[in-house]
Amino acid sequence: MNIDGVKMSDSCKKYVNSEYKLLKDKLNDIESKIRSYNIELKTIDNNIKKFNKEKDWTEDVFHSVTSLKENSNVTIKTLQNSKSDLLQLISDLSTEKQIVTEKIEMLNNILQEDVSDNVSHETLNINQNDSVKLIDIIEMDRQRISRDIHDSVVQNLTALIHKQEFIYQIADKDINRGKLEINNSINLIKDSINELRNIIYQLRPMSIDDLGFKNALTHMLDKFDRESDNVIYDYSINYNDDITINSTITISILRIINELNSNAIKYSGCTNIYVNVELDMKNNCIIVNFKDDGCGFDFENILYDRDKHSGFGMAMLKERVSLLKGTIKYSNNNGSQFIINIPVW
């Protein structure tokens, strides 16, 4: 396989093969989960029909016994909520399946190329140095995802198991306490679903496919504003979605802005954030201007420590911009300001 006349290294071939196998395994796992959820969904539908019939019978025979009616209503409502959650999980998994399938097809096309074939500049533009950076970014991304899942979803599910064990013990002794714990368990499940949705969104911002880059960026910045009680956002976007730009670039820009925002919120103590994104037709680039009024930091000398998980976000930022052949200008006057130029043609 050749890239602009340069033979792809053995390490790069090995990496592509490894990624292909991992994605195939992931696809099988997603399909297995979808099948399992569909079976569970069918069971819930059958139970809803069953309880509706029993409810009708109860209302006919015991029309004066309101407690029986209420219990039936609560059971049906619980089943309907479970059905709604399952449908959302299936929808999320189906979207993820589509993304994984597209990646598999892309890697398969690469692997099918003959050693002497030229891979077009648009399909793959990796030299020896860039391939190492790409592997580093993927590895850091995996570490972040692993940490996010462990710190949120896994912790919630572990707590949920303990709650179910506790509910089982007190169910007959203290009904009110049992109901309270069940409600807490439902909230934990909802929190876990939201966390998973956020993780999936970070893997691939779905809105960019449906809305286009400008609307997806607006949606993301509005979301930042809603979720931050102590920070005021001011942003402007000068971009025309009628102009076609490689989706890898636009998705990377969303991730760059997300990382800058996350870093500012977590560490700077800022109260104001300003974001400007502009398509510069004259210089064929997208310019991102991100500024906060926080404490600032030494961006140039920040180091990534894998063991301490420090400097992770900024290291990812530098690598992403470097792979896109972009530049970063940083200043630390009354807060942090990043001016990032990303070439688009």
Question: What pLDDT, in 10s, does the model give residues 218-234?
Answer: 988 998 888 888 899 99
Which parts of 113-212 fold into alpha helices (H)? 128-148, 155-170, 175-203, 207-211
Does the CA dihedral 163-169-172-177 come out positive or negative?
negative
Residue 28 in tokens: 């099988």
Residue ranges making up the domain that contains 221: 207-343
Tell whether 329 and 235 lie within a shared domain: yes
Lowest-confidence segment of 4-18, 157-171, 181-195 by average pLDDT: 4-18
Mean pLDDT of all residues in 173-193: 84
Tell whether 108 and 145 lie within a shared domain: no
Burial category of 115 from C-beta neighbours within 10 Å (exposed 0-12, middle 13-18, buried 19 and up): exposed
According to the model, what pLDDT value does residue 339 have?
96
- Taking the alpha carbons at both ends of the chain, their separation in whole angstroms is 24
Tell whether 153 and 200 lie within a shared domain: yes
d(CA 32, CA 51): 29
> How many domains does one find in the chain?
3
CB distance 156 to 191 below 8 Å: yes
- Mean pLDDT highest for which of 59-63, 156-160, 198-202, 265-269? 265-269
According to the model, what pLDDT value does residue 311 have?
61
Q: Residue 46 contacts by C-beta under 8 Å, 6 or more apart in sequence?
A: none
Among 183, 204, 225, the domain boundary falls at 204
Q: What pTM value is reported for the model?
A: 0.49
Q: Which amino acid is at 101?
A: T
Tell whether 164 and 241 lie within a shared domain: no
Tell whether 72 and 114 lie within a shared domain: yes
Q: Are strands 6-7 and 118-119 parallel, antiparallel or unpaired?
A: unpaired
Tell whether 311 and 220 lie within a shared domain: yes
Mean pLDDT of all residues in 19-28: 81
d(CA 124, CA 118): 10
Higher-scoring residue by pLDDT: 64, 333: 333
The per-residue pLDDT for range 42-72, each reduced to its tens digit, is 888 877 777 676 555 544 444 444 444 555 5
Q: Residue 239 contacts by C-beta under 8 Å, 6 or more apart in sequence?
A: 213, 214, 217, 277, 278, 279, 286
According to the model, what pLDDT value does residue 149 have?
73
According to the model, what pLDDT value does residue 68 have?
47
Tell whether 260 and 142 lie within a shared domain: no
Burial category of 60 from C-beta neighbours within 10 Å (exposed 0-12, middle 13-18, buried 19 and up): exposed
According to the model, what pLDDT value does residue 132 have?
52
According to the model, what pLDDT value does residue 338 have?
95
According to the model, what pLDDT value does residue 4 have?
43
- Mean pLDDT highest for which of 136-140, 179-183, 326-330? 326-330
Tell whether 21 and 134 lie within a shared domain: no
Does the CA dihedral 212-227-100-115 come out positive or negative?
positive
Tell whether 222 and 156 lie within a shared domain: no
Tell whether 68 and 154 lie within a shared domain: no
